[in-house]
Structure 1
Amino acid sequence: MDVATGQGFARRTERDFPTGNDPMAIRRRIEALEFVLERAVSLPGIKRKVGLDAILGLVPVAGDLISAAMGLYIVWEARNLGMPKWQLARMSANVGFDTLLGAVPVAGDLFDFLYRSNSRNLTIIRKHLDKHHPHTRIIEG
């Protein structure tokens, strides 16, 4: 890395977190956010991965609102892909359902560990991208 110009950092950051409006960059951003929200931390003992969504759900009101805003960002990115309104409505309903039930004390916290609205939304987006933008497909091993 060239310390004077910072070129190495700029290239690494661009590769790790894509900026741009092309379908591939949007797909990578959505997948990264879904990972952070749903599967970032492995709970010891039960071998279940949870993310920021479930952790924020433990904070009354504010945590649920923050995770809803992050989930709606995924819907906004899907809108940028030109997805049909009925799919956007379905994705918004997933986020709304997660937020409403997650706001219930105690039972909502358990629900946040089980219901993964962002993963469901990612599945909807992947199907759309695979059909309309096949060059964005990633072969997973």
Structure 2
Amino acid sequence: MATRYRRMEEIARSLPALKEPQGVRRRVEAMEALLERLVTIPGTKRQLGLDVILDVVPGVGSIAAGALGAWMIWEARNLGMSKWQMARMAGNVGVDTLLGAIPWVGAIPDFFFRSNTRNLRIIKRHLDRHHPATVTLDGNVSRSER
């Protein structure tokens, strides 16, 4: 029992802190990839994510996708982003959720209006401006700016 507890403590120490900018960047990039770029449609360069797939499920699908998009706004709050930026992000998620609420047809506009990608751009812009040490190049953290 004690070794299991120690192992859990080691794992907890190795995880990035909730408000650590570098950890936030990795988490929101991973969430955006899951929601918007999960698979590539064969024969095209268009990517499809969980956001569009969930919109095919009537009712709960668009609500679940909206909740996952709202999680990115919560991460933005952890970074201390301005209320204006978070309001823009909430607007993106709101439009996406409303478009996705239309049964079956809602997946089509959701395929083109990628709110999570837009929100990731807003978060990255904030991180690049206020936390330049988190800038990534080809998936690796740039250490030269530290």
Per the shorter chain, which TM-score range?
0.7 to 0.9
Structure 1 match to 2:16: 19
Structure 1 match to 2:76: 78
For 1:67-106, list aligned pairs within 5 A: 67-106=65-104
> Is the CA contact 2:40–2:48 (under 8 Å) kept in the aligned structure 1?
yes
Q: Which moved more, 1:66-75 or 1:104-113?
A: 104-113
Q: Which moved more, 1:102-111 or 1:121-130?
A: 102-111
Q: Aligned with 1:107: secondary structure?
A: coil
Structure 2 match to 1:45: 43
Matched letter for residue 133 of structure 1? H
TM-score after normalising by structure 1: 0.85
Structure 2 match to 1:134: 132
Per-residue deviation, residues 8-38 of structure 1 (Å, max 9, x unmatched)? xx59xx5xxx531210001100000000000
Give every structure 1 segment of 4 or more consecutive aligned residues whose post-TM-superposition deviation is greater than 3 Å. Answer: 4-7
Counterpart Cα distance in 2 of 1:125 and 1:115: 18
> Is the CA contact 2:59–2:103 (under 8 Å) kept in the aligned structure 1?
no
Matched letter for residue 93 of structure 2? V
Counterpart Cα distance in 2 of 1:101 and 1:51: 16
| Long gaps (5+) in structure 1 | none
Counterpart Cα distance in 1 of 2:110 and 2:16: 30
Per-residue deviation, residues 34-57 of structure 1 (Å, max 9, x unmatched)? 000000111113331111001001
Matched letter for residue 94 of structure 1? N
Counterpart Cα distance in 1 of 2:74 and 2:101: 22
43, 63, 66: which one pairs with 2:64?
Answer: 66
Structure 1 match to 2:142: none
TM-score after normalising by structure 2: 0.82
Counterpart Cα distance in 1 of 2:132 and 2:138: 15
> Is the CA contact 2:93–2:115 (under 8 Å) kept in the aligned structure 1?
yes
| Long gaps (5+) in structure 2 | 140-146
